[in-house]
Amino acid sequence: MTEVRSFEYLRKLARQCMFECSDEELVEIQQEFVILEKQIELLNMVDTDGVEPMVYPFEMETSFLREDEVVNVLSEEDVLRNATKTRNGHVLVPTVVR
């Protein structure tokens, strides 16, 4: 599993999350991945053959649909209140298609 600790692989993981890490930070992450891999081995000590994944604590399915009523509506002004740049009721971003 050592390839997962290469700078290239870790940069790919970071980019997947839409951020960057400095070389110094990557060295720190490399060191922590050594521990992480050992801790992951502890998962493999447990036999999970035939065991279903548990996704939520209580597996009760929602068996109804709520009424189709408009509730908890935010005004356009409120929705845009925290955006850095807005124009004509929209969030403004740098030009996407040039």
* Binding site residues, other proteins, CB under 8 A: 4, 10, 13-21, 25, 28-29, 32, 35-36, 38-40, 42-46, 48, 51-58, 62, 66, 71-72, 74, 78-79, 81-85, 91, 93-94, 96
Smallest separation (angstroms) from other proteins to the CB of 86: 10
Residue 47 CB, nearest approach to other proteins (Å): 9
Residue placing its CB nearer to other proteins in the complex, 82 or 88: 82
**Closest-CA residue to 84 (of 98, 73, 69, 94):** 94
- Tell me 52's DSSP state: P
Q: How far is the CB of 4 from other proteins (least distance, A)?
A: 7
Cα(first)–Cα(last) distance of the chain, in Å?
42
Instruction: Answer whether 19's CB lies under 8 Å from 10's CB.
Output: no
Residue 4 three-state SS: helix
